[in-house]
């Protein structure tokens, strides 16, 4: 049985993934699955750069607005919903196009990463949170010495999660990979100065489109400063503005900086995946050509193509 072909458009923020994905969907009969950890939340629209109904241009988008901003959405939710969406799209004989910048989500979905079935245990987390990283290491050592070898022993988030899994399963199982799909990974990126410029322009554009008002509305709808801080990037900074700690002007500057740092983190993540084929956002035709070749190819032929 051949695995279904799917296309992923990924890369750092502000490189035009969304619009290229829409163009691609138009050309090859696709539907889009957004892979953005914050666009899954309702109401986080302008600051996350969520595509508007109009921009969608009739192309169905999945995994947008599927969670309440007060709730915690996780990779597991993403994979679950993503697989469902892919199945539906395939049933309609359309091409699933995953588009977004959350590398962890994309990898988990595409590579069929099977995470241990241990949902977050809030009480345990709250309790462990009080401990120092050192104490957490000690605790994990008693539970699972093997996992201890690979975790970042300074990172409490990782340690707590490892302990959480080990406490319920006895140990932390290795992540299994299931080869469910036949993916083509298209990466979009550009030179530093160009990307910085793009981020800056985009931030200003969002300010014009009511980013500040959106933050205010979210707060009035009881999205706490704390939650905004956790949602990161622009929301973290917008919360500072709402609290009166910084001016709008400062906020814009800081957002551009935060986005740039984020873009670099994304690059670091994607860099290690040699299967990604990189393009400049301008190379639309080349991407379209590449994708249609991929879609027409037979399974094995494609692995040859990607060696070029």
Partner RNA sequence: GCGUCGGUGGCAGAGUGGUCAAAUGCAGCGGACUGUAAAUCCGCCGGGCGUAGCCCUACGGGGGUUCAAAUCCCUCCCGGCGCA
Binding-site annotation: residue ranges: 11-18
State in angstroms the smallest separation of the CB of 151 from RNA. 6
Torsions phi, psi of 230, nearest 5?
-70, -30
For RNA, the closer CB: 230 or 301: 230
Residue numbers in the known binding site for substrate are 13-18
Minimum CB–partner distance for residue 141 and RNA (Å): 15
Residue 27 or 236 with smaller CB distance to RNA? 236
* Site residues (CB under 7 A) for RNA, limited to 163-202: 165, 172-175, 192
Within residues 109-168, the interface with RNA by CB under 7 A covers: 115-120, 125, 129, 147, 150-152, 154-158, 160-162, 165
Nearer CB in complex with RNA: 82/101: 101
Produce one character per residue of 85-108: b if its CB has 16 or more CB atoms within 10 Å, e if not: bbeebbeeebbbbbbbbbbebbbb
Per CB under 7 A, contacts with RNA among 65-94 are 72-77
Segment near RNA (CB under 7 A); pick from 3-11, 83-91, 224-232, 277-285: 224-232
Count residues near RNA (CB under 7 A): 59
CB-based burial label for 76 (10 Å; 0-12, 13-18, 19+) = middle
Counting contacts by CB under 7 A, is residue 19 touching RNA?
Answer: no
Asked if 104 touches RNA (CB under 7 A), the answer is yes
Point out which residues bind RNA (CB under 7 A).
36-38, 72-77, 101-105, 115-120, 125, 129, 147, 150-152, 154-158, 160-162, 165, 172-175, 192, 230-233, 235-236, 257-258, 260-262, 264-269, 271-272
């Amino acid at each position: 049985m051949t695995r279904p072909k799917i296309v992923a458009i990924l890369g750092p923020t502000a490189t035009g993934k969304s619009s290229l994905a829409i163009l691609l969907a138009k050309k090859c009969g696709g539907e889009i699955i957004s892979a953005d950890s914050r666009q899954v939340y309702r109401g986080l629209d302008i600051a996350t750069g969520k595509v508007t109904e109009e921009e969608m241009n009739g192309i169905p988008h999945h995994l947008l607005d599927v969670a309440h901003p007060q709730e915690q959405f996780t990779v597991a939710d993403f994979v679950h919903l993503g697989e469902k969406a892919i199945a539906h799209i395939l049933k309609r004989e359309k091409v699933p196009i995953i588009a977004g910048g959350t590398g962890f989500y994309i990898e988990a979905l595409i590579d069929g990463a099977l995470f241990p079935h241990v949902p977050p245990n809030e009480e345990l987390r709250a309790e462990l949170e009080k401990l120092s990283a050192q104490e957490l290491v000690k605790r994990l050592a008693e539970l699972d010495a093997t996992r201890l070898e690979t975790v970042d022993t300074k990172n409490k988030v990782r340690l707590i999660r490892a302990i959480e899994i080990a406490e319920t399963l006895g140990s932390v199982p290795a992540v299994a990979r299931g080869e469910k799909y036949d993916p083509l990974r298209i990466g979009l990126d550009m030179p530093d100065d160009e990307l910085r410029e793009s981020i800056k322009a985009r931030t200003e554009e969002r300010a014009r489109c009511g980013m500040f008002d959106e933050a205010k509305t979210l707060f009035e709808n009881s999205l706490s400063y704390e939650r905004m801080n956790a949602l990161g990037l622009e929301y973290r900074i917008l919360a500072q503005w709402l609290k009166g700690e910084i001016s709008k002007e400062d906020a814009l500057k800081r957002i551009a900086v935060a986005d740039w740092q984020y873009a670099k983190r994304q690059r670091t993540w994607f860099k290690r995946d040699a299967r990604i084929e990189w393009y400049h956002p301008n190379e639309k035709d080349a991407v379209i050509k590449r994708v249609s070749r991929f879609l027409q190819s037979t399974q094995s032929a494609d692995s040859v193509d990607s060696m070029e």
